[in-house]
Structure 1
Amino acid sequence: MPSFDVVSEVDMQELRNAVGQTRREVENRYDFKGSAANVEQSEAELTLFGDSEFQVDQVMDILTQKMAKRGIDVSCLESGKLEEGGGKARRTVTIRQGIDQDMGKKIIRLVKDSKLKVQASIQGEKVRITGKKRDDLQDVIALLRKAELDLPLQYDNFRD
């Protein structure tokens, strides 16, 4: 029976590359010379540094451009509050991965409401869609792409 998984993942190697490119551009830009502007990555968390809120926002813009060029969906970024003190500013940005229970239930509800002859089930941080016809599964993919979910989705493990 054909099936596929709906997942939300970020390629960590591409993210590391985007952070490295951002760091190099910040080091070379004239308007950042002599400032504390920088990006640091620890697993699925990025920390943006700067002398002011404006600089942190500029670093964020550079980072999102580099991520978009590398094929990473920037809607996976969850920006934290800006922390200012001592003439420095810092913002923590979290990389969202995986589909949580609430989003999984929302996806299942969308699929069931579409009246397509498929079954959907939550399996950890994935949603597995199973059906008898390949066309029904492709219709589900089209439905999920059209849906306004604020999480980047990928369709993985398509099997006949």
Structure 2
Amino acid sequence: MPSFDIVSEVDKHQLTNAVDQVNRTITTRYDFKGVDAEVERSEFTLTLRADSDMQVDQMVDMLRAALIKCSIDPLAMDVGEQEQSGKQVKVAVNLKNGLDKDLSRKIVKIIKDEKLKVQAAIQGDAVRVTGKKRDDLQQVIAMLRGKELEQPLQFNNFRD
């Protein structure tokens, strides 16, 4: 029986490339000369720090552009509030990795509301969709790509 998995993953290697790219850009930009600014990474949490809030906003935009270049959907970014600590401004950016229960339920509900001949089941941080025909599964993929969800989706493990 054909099946595939719906997941939301961020490639760690590409994320490292994007962070390195932003840090290189900061060192070469004229408006960041003499400024103590950098992006620090720990797993899927990034900390952006600079001397002013305007520079932090520019760093968020640079990060968004670098993520796009590295094939990471910027919808995965969850930008926190700016915090003033001494003379530095910090912003925490969390990258959403894996489907949470609420989004998984929402995806299953969307699939069931379409009345296609497929079954959707939540399996951990993924949703497995199975059906008798490959065409039905491809319809589900096309339908979910057209929906505006709060997190980017990938479709993998497609089996006939």
TM-score by length of 1: 0.98
The residue type equivalent to 2:69 in the other structure is K
In structure 1, the partner of 2:115 is 115
Determine the C-alpha separation between the residues in 2 that align with 1:86 and 1:138: 53
What's the CA shift for 1:6?
0.1
What's the CA shift for 1:107?
0.4
In structure 2, the partner of 1:106 is 106
What's the CA shift for 1:147?
1.2
What's the CA shift for 1:87?
2.0
What's the CA shift for 1:30?
1.1
The residue type equivalent to 1:73 in the other structure is D
In structure 1, the partner of 2:35 is 35
In structure 2, the partner of 1:15 is 15
TM-score by length of 2: 0.98
Determine the C-alpha separation between the residues in 2 that align with 1:90 and 1:70: 24
**Count of matched residue pairs:** 160
What's the CA shift for 1:63?
1.0
Runs of at least 4 residues off by over 2 Å = none
Q: Deviations over 1:18-46 (max 9, x none)?
A: 10011011011111011111101010100
Please give the secondary structure, in 2, of the residue aligned with 1:25. helix
Please give the secondary structure, in 1, of the residue aligned with 2:144. helix
Aligned-pair RMSD on alpha carbons? 0.7
Please give the secondary structure, in 2, of the residue aligned with 1:71. coil
In structure 2, the partner of 1:91 is 91
Please give the secondary structure, in 2, of the residue aligned with 1:49. strand
Deviates more, 1:31-40 or 1:2-11: 31-40
- The answer to whether the aligner puts 1:154 opposite 2:154 as a matched pair is yes
The residue type equivalent to 1:25 in the other structure is T
Determine the C-alpha separation between the residues in 2 that align with 1:60 and 1:52: 13
Unaligned runs of 5+ in 1: none
What's the CA shift for 1:109?
0.4
Please give the secondary structure, in 2, of the residue aligned with 1:156. strand
What's the CA shift for 1:85?
3.1
- Identity of counterpart residues, as a percentage? 54
- The answer to whether the aligner puts 1:54 opposite 2:54 as a matched pair is yes
What's the CA shift for 1:14?
0.4
- The answer to whether the aligner puts 1:136 opposite 2:136 as a matched pair is yes
Determine the C-alpha separation between the residues in 2 that align with 1:101 and 1:85: 35
